[in-house]
């Protein structure tokens, strides 16, 4: 299975929230270009900035079922998203990658 066929593009503008804390996690995102800001539960404190090549949303998709933080666009971005069901189905073929993503999610919790 080719993941690129499952990824859907999303163009996001500065100030837009891609995900909000406590929402049900239905997608994982990959940053193609631009910068996203990962916000703590107070929606003010910055935990990290992520750019091209980074991803987010794995904690909710793999571990908690809900968003553990909010993600806001800092610089207009092109993101690629994949639905939870499609991602989990695809990763059945790649158990080592699934294990890796779960481990990363646990570290970020």
- Which pairs from 2-6 meet CB under 8 Å and 24+ separation? 3/82, 3/90, 6/82, 6/83, 6/86, 6/87, 6/90
Claim: this prediction has a pTM higher than 0.75: yes
d(CA 80, CA 109): 23
**pLDDT by residue (tens digit) across 6-26?**
899 999 999 999 999 999 999
- Say which CATH number the domain at 102 has: 2.60.120.10
CA distance readout (Å), 70 to 6, 10, 14, 32? 24, 17, 14, 19
How many structural domains comprise the chain? 1
Domain with 25, as residue range(s), is 3-108
What is the residue-level pLDDT of the chain in tens, covering all 109 positions?
577 788 999 999 999 999 999 999 999 999 999 999 999 999 999 999 999 999 999 889 988 899 999 999 999 999 999 999 998 888 888 888 888 888 877 887 7
């Amino acid at each position: 299975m080719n993941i690129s066929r499952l990824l859907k593009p999303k163009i996001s503008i500065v100030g837009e929230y891609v995900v909000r804390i406590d929402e049900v996690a239905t997608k994982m995102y990959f940053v193609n270009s631009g910068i996203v800001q990962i916000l703590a539960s107070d929606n003010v404190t910055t935990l990290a900035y992520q750019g091209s090549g980074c991803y987010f949303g794995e904690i909710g998709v793999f571990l908690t079922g809900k968003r553990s933080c909010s993600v806001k666009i800092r610089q207009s971005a092109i993101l690629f998203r994949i639905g939870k069901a499609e991602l989990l189905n695809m990763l059945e073929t790649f158990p080592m990658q699934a294990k890796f993503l779960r481990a990363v999610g646990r570290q970020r919790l």
